[in-house]
Structure 1
Amino acid sequence: MSVTLIDMVFPGDANHHGTLFGGIGLAHLDKVAFLAAARHARRPTVTAGCERIDFAAPARIGEMVEATGRVVRVGRTSMGVEVELWAEAPVSGERRLCTRGVFNMVAPREEGQGDLPPLEDDTPNRDAWLRAVEMVFPAWTNHYGTLYGGDALKLMGKAAFVCATRKARAVMVMAASNRIDFSSPIREGDMIELASRATRVGRSSITIEVELWAEGLLTGDRRRSAAAEFVMVAVDEAGRPRSISGASSALEPA
C-alpha cells in the first residue's frame, strides 16, 4: 500500500534560490520509503541505498510538496520502494513532478523469522478523506516519550490548511478551532496518519474535520488518537474574507 506525505515549503526549507533545498526533498522521499517498507515488513527496517535521483523541476516557497512511496519489489529481506516528489501550487492547482526514483530498504531477519511477506495489490483509497502520513521522531516527544500536544496541533492545523486549500483553490487562513479531543497517546516511533475532509462549505469559509491516527509499525495496531474541527477562511490580498468560487457545497472528495 502506498503512503503519502504532504508538506509546505516554508522559507526555512528553501535554499538561496527560493526553492526547496534538495536535502529536504530527499529526506521526504527517504521517510515515505521507510514508512512504506516498514508497514509492509512489520519489522525493523533501514535504508540500504537509493538509485540515481534527478531533480527535474523545483518546488518553490509557498507551494505544497507531495511525496509518495510504494513497495514495488520484495526479496527475502530487502524491498524496492518507488518514490515520487510532486510540487503543487496551492491556488492554481498546477502540479509538476520534481523527481522520482527507487529506494532500497532492508529488514534483517531475526531468529525465528522467515522471508518478507509477498507483494500485495496496491488498491487506491477512494473515500472522501485526504490522507497523509508522518513519523514521530524523538524531537517531537515530551518527557513521557509521547507526541507533544503542540506538535499534534501543528500537524492537524497543517492538514486542515491543505484540505481547505485544495477544496477552495484560494488563499486560506485559520479562523477558528471549534474543538480538539485527545483520546490516546502517540508513542515515539509510531507512524501517524492525518485524515481530513470538508464537512461544510460556506460563502467564504470551509469547516474541516481532522482525525489523527497512530499506527505501530511493528504490530500494525491502529488507534484514533485525536480529532479536531477547524474553520478555514478564504482571504484576499488585504487579508479580508472573500467569497469562494468553484468550491462545491456538495462536499465531494477534497
Structure 2
Amino acid sequence: MKPHIMGEGEPAAGPAPTTLTDIVFPGATNHHGTLFGGAGLSAMDRVAFVAATRHGRVPFVTASCERVEFKKPAHVGDIVSFIAKPVRAGRRSLTVEVEMVAESIVAGERHSCTRGAFHMVAAPDPVLGTEWSLPPLATSHAAPPPDKVRMADVVFADQANSSGTMFGGDAIAFMTKAAFVAASRRSRRLAVLVCSERLDFHHPIRVGAIVEAVARVASTGRSSMKVEVELWSEHLLSGERSQTAKGLFVMVAVDGSHRPAPVFPDEFDSGQS
C-alpha cells in the first residue's frame, strides 16, 4: 500500500472533515419545493465514501446507515453542505458521521437538516494480507481557512469523455459552482457568472478519482468579485494529489430584480473598497 502523499491544499495535521457542497435546484426537489430526501441521502452516502476512503486508502462499500432523520428541509436556492467525519474505526469497518446543513444565501442562516451514521466496510487488496487493519482515527486536524470554499466529490463514468477522464465541461461546471458559493457567501446575494478571465487545465482526472474545488474571493469591486478556483484531483488509494486546473471567474452580485447590487463588506474584506 502506497503512503499518503500530502499535497498543497490539504491540511497538514491529518485530513479535515470532508465536505460535499451543492445548490438545491428545482430538479432535485419534491412537490413541496424542498430537497428530495432520496437526493439528500445519496449525497450523504457519497461523502461518507470519500471520507472513509481518505481515512483507509482502500476500497469501501456501504454496509448500512442508521439514525437518518430529516428534521428540517432545504429549500430551492439554498446552499447545502454534507459534512462527513469518521468517528469510529474497527479492524475493517469504519463509522462515518454525516451532517447535512442548509444555508440561506441572502440571510446567511444555517440549520442542520439531518445527521446520520454510515457504516462502511473496507475491501483491501489481498496482497495486504489477512492481518491488515484500518489505521486509528486522527486525533486532530488543521482548521480550513474561513475565507475558502472546499467542495469534494467523486468522478463517475457519466462524467467521463471517450478517454475515460473527466469531461472538461463537467470540470468547469464544478469549478463554477464553487465560485458561485464563494461569491454568494461573500456578498450575501445571488451571484451570477459574468466571464472566466482565465482557465488552464494541467492534468486529466480519471474516473474514480476524488475531485476537490478550492475557491476564494480574490478581490471585490462595487458589485463584482473575482474568484480564484483551484481544481485538485486525488487518487483514491494512494492519496496523491495534483492540481489539475486553475481558473479566475468574475461574478456579479444581483438583487431580486437581477440587477447588479453592491457587495456587502465583511471581516474578510477589511480595507477594500
Please say whether Structure 1 and Structure 2 have the same fold, judged by a TM-score greater than 0.5.
yes
Deviations 1:15-62 (A, max 9, x none): 011000000000111011100001111111110001121100000011
Matched, 1:129 2:144: no
Counterpart position of 2:263: 244
Other-structure match for 2:250: 231
User: Could you tell me which residue of structure 1 aligns to residue 126 of structure 2?
Assistant: 111
| Unmatched 5+ stretches in structure 1 | none
Q: Find the aligned partners of 1:126 and 1:52 in 2 and give their Cα distance.
A: 28
Give the residue type in structure 1 aligned to 2:157.
Answer: P
Residues 1:222 and 1:249: Cα distance change in structure 2 (over 3 Å): closer
Structure 1's 118 and 205: CA in aligned 2 closer, same or farther, altered over 3 A? same
Q: Secondary structure at the match of 2:42?
A: helix
Secondary structure at 1:145's aligned position in 2? coil
Residues 69 and 82 of structure 1 are in contact (CA less than 8 Å); yes or no, is this contact kept in structure 2? yes
Of 179, 191, 196 in structure 2, the residue corresponding to residue 172 of structure 1 is: 191
- Alpha carbons 2:66, 2:118 under 8 Å: kept: yes
Q: 1:60 is matched by which residue type in structure 2?
A: H
CA 176–247 in structure 1, closer or farther in 2 if over 3 Å, else same: farther
One of 173, 192, 208 as aligned partner of 1:154: 173
- Percent identity over the alignment? 48
RMSD: 1.5
Whole-Å Cα distance in 2 between the matches of residues 141 and 248 of structure 1?
A: 40
> 2:231 aligned with 1:216, yes or no?
no
Residue 200 of structure 1 is aligned with which of 208, 219, 229? 219
1:53 to 61, 68, 87: 68
SS at structure 1 position matched to 2:59: coil
Single out whichever of 79-88 and 104-113 deviates more from structure 2.
104-113
Q: Paired residue for 1:38?
A: 53
Q: Structure 2 vs 1, CA of residues 163 and 97 (structure 1 numbering), >3 Å: closer, same or farther? A: same
- Asked if the contact 2:186–2:263 (Cα under 8 Å) also holds between the matched residues in 1, the reply is no
Q: Distance in 1 between matches of 2:152 and 2:113?
A: 20
| 1:188 and 2:203 matched | no
Q: Unpaired segments of 5 or more residues in structure 2?
A: 1-14
Following superposition, the deviation at residue 248 of structure 1 comes to 5.4
Comparing 167-176 with 77-86, greater Cα deviation is found at 167-176
CA offset at residue 124 of structure 1? 4.0
> What does 1:77-116 correspond to in 2, within 5 Å?
77-113=92-128, 114-116=132-134
How many equivalent residue pairs? 252
Q: What code does the residue aligned with 1:149 have?
A: G
Q: Distance in 1 between matches of 2:198 and 2:124?
A: 45
Kept after mapping to 2: 8 A contact 1:198/1:251:
no
TM-score by length of 1: 0.95
Q: Give, in angstroms, the shift of residue 169 of structure 1.
A: 0.3
The alignment partner of 1:155 has SS state of: helix
Is the 1:199–1:251 contact (alpha carbons within 8 Å) kept by the matching residues of 2?
no
Contact 1:201–1:249 (CA under 8 A) maintained in structure 2:
no
The one-letter amino acid of 1:126's match is P
Q: Distance in 1 between matches of 2:268 and 2:108?
A: 19
- After superposition, give the CA deviation of every residue in 1:216-238 in whole Å (9 maximum; x if it has no partner): 01111100000000011111233
**Stretch of structure 1 that moved more, 132-141 or 105-114:** 105-114
- In 2, Cα distance between the equivalents of 1:124 and 1:91? 29
Q: Distance in 2 between matches of 1:152 and 1:170?
A: 24
SS in 1 for 2:163: coil
Question: Secondary structure in 1 aligned to 2:143?
Answer: coil
